[in-house]
Structure 1
Amino acid sequence: MASAATTLRGRACVTGIGTTEYTRGKGSMVSNLLLLLRASVAAINDAGLLPTEIDGIIAPITGGSVRELAANLGTTDLRFSGKIDNGGASAVSALRMAGLAVATGAARHVLVPVGWNGYSSFRAREAEELGILPGAVARDYYMPTGATAPPQWFAMLARRHMHDYALRSEALGEIAVAFRAHAQLNPQAVMRGKPMTLDDYLAAPIISDPYRLLDCSLETDGAAAIVVSARERAEDLPSRPVHIAGAAEGHPFPADCYLNRSDTHHIGLHTAAPEAFAMAELTPKDVDFAEIYDCFTFEALQQIEAAGFCPAGEGQDFIADGAIRLGGALPVNTHGGLLSEAHILGMNHIVEAIRQLRGDAGDRQVDDAQVGIVTGFGDFGEGSIAVLTRSAP
């Protein structure tokens, strides 16, 4: 931990962001690789760089190798490559890896793209074959019992929390409604123009108890990308750099089977969050907004607790009275999140955090945003977090 703290804090910046359109309906109508390339070119342009200046690439978990990306982009001086396989925690883990690469001199500018045709071609039931969702445990022990899709697996975590802490369905509804309200202010959100009330949420059909339809994230086509640069190089680029003040990841044990853990509620973020905040020399009280990985409503609540914003079991009280809405004590998922903007595996959360800290979020801008966090949640509890700041630490 000490080594990471001395090499990463304040030594790496996000200098470029880019996205494609996020779509459902007929879908993107292009290949997964082309989505990744479009987002990558947009991020490189935003950073004020040429593709030939990118010397590091971290490949996405959803296909598209470093070789394919480099060849198509014309990246001629590749010095660093990597790939993260932490499910929904991968985007933030990749941000951390990119930060460490530029902070240690392994690369100068690292491209991190993430994207997929998650609506038009990918389906949750195909995830095991593609290696995107949990492996042997899910295949050999959960699926034969009929638990074949993510809503069924993650519903068990939510139900356990309800048993131990008397979590109410209305609290999950507040999360869904708040994120949908934020999406109404986001021109890129898939669910813009489709407002939601708590009554709408409660009337939605049950998918896997306690999850209703509106507890579940969107299936979406699209891609997003970032460029991470060494701080001394970022200062010469045209876009305002956003600083990586701290970042960490954590892994529960056993990784892919929460039913056999000594503490079912323990996830990787419980380990990662204290490390990231210590590296940043900040605390949860310093955070102006949070972009929390929200594959399901409960996972957003669980990570609010795990990141240290409130004690275990007190999340539903913490989010009450509009606390996670714009203007509240801790605005969460100001873009609408995976639930209402798009499911781009959390890279869209990073993009939103950069927009907030640049002051470019338009109608959903958090006033005087100086510190934000982004989290990732993968498989059955892999956790990642980055603490980002507007000013250099």
Structure 2
Amino acid sequence: MSRRAVIAGIGATEFSKQSGRSELQLACEAVLHALADAGLEPSDVDGLVTFVNDSNPEIEVARSTGIGELTFFTRVGYGGGAACGTVQQAMLAIEHGVADVVVCYRAFNERSGVRFGLGHADRPMAAGADRAGYSWLTPFGLNTPAQEVAIFARRYMHEFGATSEDFGRVAVVDRAYAANNPKAWFYGRPITLAEHQESRWIAEPLHLLDCCQESDGGQAIVVAAQDRVAGLRHRPVRILGAAQGSGADQHLMTSYYRPQISGIPEMGLVARQLYAQSGLGPQDIDAAVIYDHFTPLVLPQLEELGFCGRGEAPAFIADGNLEIGGRLPTNTHGGQLGEAYLHGMNGIAEAVRLVRGTSVNQPEGVEAVIVTSGTAVPTSGLILGVDA
């Protein structure tokens, strides 16, 4: 990589449970906020990237925001696994001269509209491979993401002696960060481990407070060629690594047929690429944004990324390593458990703030941040760093 592409701007709507606006309006607001943050105009944009399951067509976003001709537009699949992949696609387009300014966006009314947490049991059958696959799951009670993740969580507990309290410590850390973040839904509302344990069951061993939020909102990221953003008010954030990964025998949320199901091999694949591209290793990473749709899947991510060995994540977290002053301050915005669930796009924005030094929970000396996308599906990741 020539590293010609940098992140120049970030922008978001408010995060809520009832936006009162269309998803298209949320997308457009986020895009315009991100361009303003970058000091660019809509007319500067020549590329757009979003998620396969985003309801806002690129041409409608372009028309509604004043963006003119587009030379690059694409979408990335697999839900939350797409987040960092959108930035990778934008970076590749810029690296190869296909576009100069690409905006990545994601917007939805996921709380007031279609709620992903309700699962797929009541969705109509179709003649596609996805629905055929679900037909082997739903009769046995695997209808929602929480139920699907519960099987991974139970296996991890069985293999390594982890407990529900080990998962709960992730939620406690996230909510502590969110309590200091005025943009977080749970601003001013930390939790204790006892409160986590007392929250109701969703799908054992997952409590309510193990599960991410359902949110309305939009988030956009501006990726631009370095020479297009010289002299603007924010120093550009370098994309030191960007990768996607799908593991062997990959399923959507239900990769139960591998020899070992307590790890996330696709995240290990992403990690190896990120470290090879950046020339960095786990020891060089100063902070992290770990995809936290469900707390149990944070633990194997830390292991796949090389911050601790297999089965060692419970102790790593219990030792305070995810907190400010710890080895790896993680999800300093509050994560999807504490700030908002935007399919991980708000996590990328927080990584940008960490490199800029503007997080509301800013650790000292941050020069490299690792970001992960959705787990239990084909996924993606980034390493963002300071401008050399």
TM class, shorter-length: over 0.9
1:205 and 1:82 map into 2 onto residues whose CA distance is 41
2:233 and 2:47 map into 1 onto residues whose CA distance is 20
Pairing partner for 2:83 from 91, 105, 108: 91
1:18: which partner in 2? 11
Q: In structure 2, give the amino acid aligned to 1:381.
A: V
2:187 and 2:311 map into 1 onto residues whose CA distance is 32
2:215 and 2:28 map into 1 onto residues whose CA distance is 17
Q: In structure 2, give the amino acid aligned to 1:158.
A: A
Pairing partner for 1:41 from 22, 32, 36: 32
Pairing partner for 2:238 from 220, 238, 243: 243
1:19 and 1:130 map into 2 onto residues whose CA distance is 33
> How many residues matched?
379
For the residue of structure 2 that corresponds to 1:334, the secondary structure is: coil
1:357: which partner in 2? 355
1:223 and 1:130 map into 2 onto residues whose CA distance is 28
Mapping of 1:337-356 within 5 angstroms?
Answer: 337-356=335-354
2:385: which partner in 1? 389
2:117 and 2:337 map into 1 onto residues whose CA distance is 19
1:374: which partner in 2? 371
Q: In structure 1, give the amino acid aligned to 2:192.
A: T
Tell whether 2:196 aligns with 1:204. no
Q: Which runs of 5+ in 2 are unaligned?
A: none
2:161: which partner in 1? 166
Mapping of 1:108-119 within 5 angstroms?
Answer: 108-119=100-111
Task: For residues 360-379 of structure 1, give each alpha carbon's deviation from its aligned partner in whole angstroms, at most 9, with x where no partner exists.
Answer: 113x111121110110024x
Deviation at 1:126, TM superposition (A): 6.1
Q: Is the 8 A contact 1:118 1:221 kept in 2?
A: yes
Q: Is the 8 A contact 1:267 1:381 kept in 2?
A: no
Q: In structure 2, give the amino acid aligned to 1:118.
A: E
1:263 and 1:70 map into 2 onto residues whose CA distance is 45
1:305 and 1:155 map into 2 onto residues whose CA distance is 19
2:309 and 2:135 map into 1 onto residues whose CA distance is 35
Considering only aligned residues, what root-mean-square deviation do their CA atoms show, in Å?
1.7
Deviation at 1:127, TM superposition (A): 5.7
Q: Is the 8 A contact 1:267 1:382 kept in 2?
A: no
Task: For residues 278-328 of structure 1, give each alpha carbon's deviation from its aligned partner in whole angstroms, at most 9, with x where no partner exists.
Answer: 100100111110001100001111211111111111111111221101121
2:55 and 2:250 map into 1 onto residues whose CA distance is 23
2:370 and 2:205 map into 1 onto residues whose CA distance is 28
Deviation at 1:62, TM superposition (A): 2.3
TM-score of the pair, normalised by structure 2:
0.94
Q: Larger % of helix: which?
A: 1
Q: In structure 1, give the amino acid aligned to 2:368.
A: V
Greater mean deviation of Cα atoms: 59-68 or 347-356: 59-68
For the residue of structure 2 that corresponds to 1:294, the secondary structure is: coil
Deviation at 1:277, TM superposition (A): 1.0
2:22: which partner in 1? 31
1:11 and 1:280 map into 2 onto residues whose CA distance is 14
Identity of aligned pairs, percent? Answer: 37
Q: In structure 2, give the amino acid aligned to 1:254.
A: D
2:333 and 2:90 map into 1 onto residues whose CA distance is 24
- Could you list the runs of 4 or more consecutive aligned residues of structure 1 that deviate by over 6 angstroms after TM superposition? none
Deviation at 1:205, TM superposition (A): 1.2
Task: For residues 216-258 of structure 1, give each alpha carbon's deviation from its aligned partner in whole angstroms, at most 9, with x where no partner exists.
Answer: 0001111110000112323243322100001111102332241
Shift in alpha-carbon separation, 1:304–1:181, aligned structure 2, 3 A: same
Q: Is the 8 A contact 1:371 1:389 kept in 2?
A: yes
Deviation at 1:138, TM superposition (A): 5.2
Q: In structure 2, give the amino acid aligned to 1:225.
A: A
For the residue of structure 1 that corresponds to 2:374, the secondary structure is: strand
1:65: which partner in 2? 57
Q: Is the 8 A contact 2:239 2:383 kept in 1?
A: yes
Tell whether 2:134 aligns with 1:139. yes
Deviation at 1:124, TM superposition (A): 2.4
1:227: which partner in 2? 222
For the residue of structure 1 that corresponds to 2:138, the secondary structure is: helix
For the residue of structure 2 that corresponds to 1:115, the secondary structure is: strand
1:3: which partner in 2? none
Q: Is the 8 A contact 2:180 2:188 kept in 1?
A: no
Tell whether 2:256 aligns with 1:259. yes
Mapping of 1:209-220 within 5 angstroms?
Answer: 209-220=204-215
1:307: which partner in 2? 305
